[in-house]
Amino acid sequence: MKIARLMAGVGVVAAGALVLSGCGNPYQSEVVEGTEITTAYNSGFFHFNDDSSAGNNTANGNVKYMTDTTFAYYNNTPELVRNTDFGEYEQVSEDPLTVKYTITADAVWSDGVPIDEADMLLQWAAMSGNVNDAFSPAASTGYSLVTETPETGDKEITFVYDEPYVDWELVGPLGVSAHGTYALAFPDEYSDVQAAYDTWKESGEEGDFTAYSDAAKEFAETAKEKVVTAITDGDEETLAALGDAWSNEYGYTTLPDSPAAALTSGPYIVDDIVEDQYISIAANPLFTWGPSPKFEKITIRTIADSTTALQALESGELDIWSGQPTADILQLANDIDTATVQTGVQASHEHVDLTVNNGGPFDPATYGGDEAKALAVRQAFLKTVPRQEIVDKIIKPLNPEAEVRNTNLVSQADVERYPILTETNGSADYAEVDIEGAKALLAEAGVTGPVEVGFWYPEGNVRRGQEYELIAASAALAGFQLVDESEPDWVFTDPAAEPINPHDATLFAWSQTSLAVGGSDQIYACYDDPMAKGGNYNAFCDEEVTEALHTLNVTSDYDAQTDLLEQAEAGIWASATTLPIFQFPGLLVNSDKVTEVKEMPLSPDYFWNFWEWTPAGAGAE
């Protein structure tokens, strides 16, 4: 899993250059009529608002990336590219840091309603945590530093930061629509639009779409006004309803009845969803404010098993696939004559987290509140994780240069900071499996075995299944009995469904979506409210780590940043609540039916340039 777009700043690497896009020419659609392409991902779509804590998942983020519009995106250099076809943003003051965003295009939602300042103000309200607790965002870094309600104008919004946020260029004030969210919060007021939509869906006539769009525009005029008024005046009743809708009403695994739940601002619209099988998106006929895609339809199938995916690609049922490969999978890919294979290293890293508040073996409450005893049990368990064996057996066949990762906050690609942090963070205590050391810690703490550990990993993921077997076998030697709690739905990441993570240990990856310096407080900062836990799914809390990471967000000096990273790294390792394992090896395979598929280290992985994907033989004029 990625865990969603929330991951800005999970790793720290050198900031990329800023480049401009947009040729300034009149928009001309390049969609080739009748073309479609099938891709695959290892887990299925389940939530349309990937900015929410419940929807914060790569599978959702991939879909949103192709159906959204943003002020900037990363290319695969990677560099941050400004989307000047859509809008502009500029720093208008350094003290206080003030940033103005302007939508310059005649951009509309997929129902024809203009995209404007109301939509951007809702995004601030939802993401900042400064308006109403009913909003449950995956992350608020950056937004939370804008405590003053932003000023708005005609398709404009201005953020005034309380402190000089170091990654301000990565804050994009557009998410789900304001009028759509209002419709989900107050569906009775949307009934006329719903009726017009239903008529259009039954007939498919252009005139009926116009009637639906006209009804949506009429509704939106009042709805947007009510959203803005609720935010600016502090109408708690309306805000609570908006917050609940924003956080929860965008979750679905079949095509929603209400069009409000699937309004898009980008090149594609949601066309069809079959739970656990696929989601299809179709070219948005209203889109004119960015590069045109070439394929009329894109289907993303849910295929957890890599072998199944490659067999589908070889038989012509699949055109692009990227997954978590094993050596056998790489060989299988190379054996497909009609496929192009790309390999590399991704900006994602595997790790194990231990939950400290669920009444399990790693929770102090289990031992009458004895923090030292719980810490000893966590340390003992982590000493059994065979990281080197996992890398040697599973990762090195794919990347012979692969090494165990020994940092949480920076990647091995950061050649300056990685050595500094690994020297001081305490990772040396877990450099090798130490069964006797683990036994000694348990004995000293007075904990007798077997110690049962409920262990989660995504069901159907072959590589993680292999990792689990290696970890279970090693941990058993020290007296830990792992219980396989794998399931495919990542329920523990949804605070509404699981305010407290029921699993004692979880195995997944953090995926980096940007070159942000800050942002790691989303994962490692203290959260008193489980509903606002961001990506902190195991309830880790260390006040000094929290303070260091919060300070990092507003620190521009390189050396000072490094000092703060050192402090935070040391605190995280001392807690024995998480253990990094390896950097992801990348494998991207595409059929000969499509060209311009390009590897990307950051999430959204190969989806980053979907508009460039070209049917073979079509070419670009």
Nearest to 155 by CA among 103, 192, 204, 85: 103
Give me the pLDDT at residue 10, please.
30
Q: Are strands 278-283 and 295-302 parallel, antiparallel or unpaired?
A: antiparallel
Give me the pLDDT at residue 559, please.
97
Which of the pair, 488 or 124, is modelled with greater confidence? 124
Quote the percentage of the chain above a pLDDT of 70: 94
Domains of the chain: 70-259 (3.90.76.10), 346-583 (3.10.105.10)
Instruction: Name the pTM for this structure.
Output: 0.85
Tokens of 37: 């392409």
Nearest to 406 by CA among 421, 391, 389: 421
pLDDT at 23 over 50: no
Tens digit of each residue's pLDDT (9 = 90 or more) over 597-621: 999 999 899 999 999 999 998 754 4
Give me the mean pLDDT over the 523-550 stretch. 85
Kindly report the length of the chain: 621
Q: Which long-range contacts (CB under 8 A, 24 or more apart) does 336-341 make?
A: 336/310, 336/589, 338/314, 338/591, 338/592, 339/313, 339/314, 339/589, 339/590, 339/591, 339/592, 340/589, 340/590, 340/591, 340/592, 340/597, 341/587, 341/588, 341/589
pLDDT at 3 over 70: no
Q: Can you tell me whether residue 289 is helix, strand or coil?
A: coil
Alpha carbon distance 607, 614 (integer Å)? 13
Q: Are strands 87-94 and 156-160 parallel, antiparallel or unpaired?
A: unpaired
Tens digit of each residue's pLDDT (9 = 90 or more) over 551-580: 999 999 999 999 999 999 999 999 999 999
Sort 376 into a burial class: Cβ within 10 Å, 0-12 / 13-18 / 19+.
Answer: buried
Residue 540 carries which DSSP code?
-
Tokens of 319: 């055109």
Alpha carbon distance 534, 43 (integer Å)? 21
Contact 288, 108 (CB under 8 A): no
Tens digit of each residue's pLDDT (9 = 90 or more) over 394-438: 999 999 999 999 999 999 989 999 999 999 999 999 999 999 999
Q: Specify whether the backbone of 619 is left (phi greater than 0), alpha (psi in -120 to 50) or beta.
A: left
